Amino acid sequence: MTSVYCFSGSGHSYAIAEYFARELQVPVVNIDRRLAESHCQADLAVVIFPVYCQNIPAVVRDFFSKLDSKHVVLIATYGKISHGNVLWEAFKIIRGRVIAAAYVPMGHTYLDSSTQFDAQPLQPIFARIQHPRAATLTRESKHPLASFFPSWRSRCGVRIWLDESCNACNLCTEQCPMQAIEAGIIHGNCIRCLRCVCQCPKSALHFQLHPILKRYLEQTPCEDTKVYL
């Protein structure tokens, strides 16, 4: 059985997941807290997720520790700042053989809502799925402070607030991968993925970047797509 698993805050990784799901003719399975607590089995698992503060998002890391798949394809999307070493880190956690992996540059969650990506460099992955064998991944550099409370730093850098147009529909509660929001009110576990902001039907949730984060995000973009086979 083939499964396409995806965690996506602002829809960038989801666009790639939909592309793989279409090509492989299977549905996309969303990774959230509930899924990360269950045992997931597949012959081939294609897992697509964003880079958060040069790390694997916590919910995806938990999912990896429960995933039991013979073959695994890993796709990490990143916002053209730095992808760190997440594919190597995922490779070390996963049970099963990683047959292909890729870093794909996309718009940054906090800057760009476009979900366009270049599918061309990903084509060799489909050939590898047909004829699976172990991929060779290389270790990439990562900022020494990247693992220093990444979720806490995201909360400091991004403020989310609710306006009076909220009608308490609770869609944000249903969609939140961390079970961190109730009727528009956020509590502790929020990872600032912005899924609630993007999906609120009343546009009642808003976000603002801290000036230090804003300046940090102005650096020259790194546009590299890297595919490991």
Ligand X SMILES: Cc1cc2nc3c(=O)[nH]c(=O)nc-3n(C[C@H](O)[C@H](O)[C@H](O)COP(=O)(O)O)c2cc1C
Using left for φ > 0, alpha for ψ between -120 and 50, and beta otherwise, residue 86 falls in alpha
- Distances in Å between the alpha carbon of 135 and those of 48, 74, 93, 119, 227? 17, 11, 15, 19, 10
> Cβ 5 to ligand X, closest distance in Å?
13
Interaction site with ligand X (CB under 6 A):
8-14, 50-54, 77-83, 106-109, 154, 191-193
**167 touches which of ligand SF4, ligand X, none (CB within 5 to 8 A by kind)?**
ligand SF4
Nearer to ligand SF4, 90 or 204 (CB): 204
> Cβ 84 to ligand SF4, closest distance in Å?
20
Q: 107 and 78 in contact (C-beta within 8 Å)? A: no
Nearer to ligand SF4, 106 or 194 (CB): 194
**77 touches which of ligand SF4, ligand X, none (CB within 5 to 8 A by kind)?**
ligand X
Strands 226-228 and 95-105: antiparallel
Interaction site with ligand SF4 (CB under 6 A):
9, 162, 166-172, 176, 178, 180-181, 183-184, 186, 190-196, 200, 202, 204-205
> Cβ 133 to ligand X, closest distance in Å?
28
Nearer to ligand SF4, 83 or 195 (CB): 195
Q: Is residue 192 classed exposed, middle or buried when 0-12, 13-18 and 19+ CB atoms within 10 A define those classes?
A: buried
**51 touches which of ligand X, ligand SF4, none (CB within 5 to 8 A by kind)?**
ligand X
Nearer to ligand SF4, 71 or 150 (CB): 150
Nearer to ligand X, 93 or 207 (CB): 207
**172 touches which of ligand X, ligand SF4, none (CB within 5 to 8 A by kind)?**
ligand SF4
> Cβ 161 to ligand X, closest distance in Å?
17
**11 touches which of ligand X, ligand SF4, none (CB within 5 to 8 A by kind)?**
ligand X
Closest residue to ligand X, based on beta-carbon distance: 79
Residue type, 141: S
> Cβ 203 to ligand SF4, closest distance in Å?
8
